[in-house]
Amino acid sequence: MSTTAQPVSSTTSPRRRRAVGVLVAAASCVVIWIIGALGGVDYAVRSPGQPEAVVNLVPVVAFSLGSALLGWAALALMERFVGRRATVVWIALAVAVALLSFVPLFQVDATGGAKVALGAMHLAVPAALIALMPRRDR
């Protein structure tokens, strides 16, 4: 009786790694919000022509999770239809969306601390996704 050893893969599945990426993106935003709140940041934001709104944890979690899940869906679609260049195209798209997400931040009236904390959140989501979403086997 002959046995052959199968190589053991120490890498996690793409689905698991991507799910971790989504959770890391949302968790990093929560941590940034909490650090800001403990530091005394006033998260009141005033948009032109709109009443003042306070950015609390509920929209932070909702928007970070929603954005991360949309990023995952976009990557999955690109891998299916774009082929070998999907990762490069997706990363370029993620960077472009991250840069565009700063436009509303510059248009609102908020304290400097709020803008810094919210800007850090706008960077945390794409950073986590770019680090954890693309396939590593290519």
Higher pLDDT residue, 84 or 6? 84
- Using one digit for the tens of pLDDT, what is the confidence trace for 62-104? 999 999 999 999 999 999 999 889 999 999 999 999 999 999 9
Rounded CA-CA distance 19/50 in Å is: 35
What is the signed CA dihedral for 54, 57, 60, 61, rounded to 10 degrees? -160
pLDDT value, residue 12:
72
Say if CB 29 and CB 100 are below 8 A apart.
Answer: no
d(C-alpha 110, C-alpha 24), whole Å: 26
